[in-house]
Amino acid sequence: MNTIYTGDTQHISNIYNGLIYLGSMFATRHDTILKRNIKHIVSIGCKPQPIPGCMYYTFEVEDSKDDECVRQLFEVIMPQIHEIMTNCVCKKEAVLVHCQAGMSRSAAVVIMWCIKEFGWTYAVAYEYIKRCRPAISPNTGFVKYMNNNVS
């Protein structure tokens, strides 16, 4: 896997071949999006300012370890996000997945995408994403779900 450690990891991190980025809401700045040729933005729990030429996908979910929030993220929202991310990779169009801080919700989504896409365990996916974006810290409810529901 060709991962670039960009140095701008406070706001945006390259996770997969310049096609999947993980970041905070500050990663949705116009210059950041243009510089990386991002065409799709998946926003989890916050709404960025629109950028011309980008497709937006907004999902509302709390960063809570409450069972209902965890189920909503992984069982309702994640299948839709997985499809978006996979389609972007297939079309070679960059996608940014972000939440407010780029640490918990969006990190959990990208970890789960890696688990499903590459057949990794939670531990392998977590360590990989952590190397790409050291700031990640999925909440304990998300971690428990991913550990218990990975086949």
SS3 of residue 131 by DSSP: helix
The residues annotated with a catalytic role in the active site are 99
Strands 38-44 and 12-16: unpaired
Question: What CA–CA distance (Å, rounded) separates 10 from 70?
Answer: 25
Please report, for residues 38, 43, 49, 144, 149, the alpha-carbon distance to residue 55 in angstroms, rounded to integers and kept in the order given: 9, 11, 12, 32, 30
| Closest by Cα among 151, 64, 38 to 23 | 38
Rounded to 5 degrees, φ, ψ at 66 are -55, 135
Terminal-residue alpha carbon distance, the chain = 22
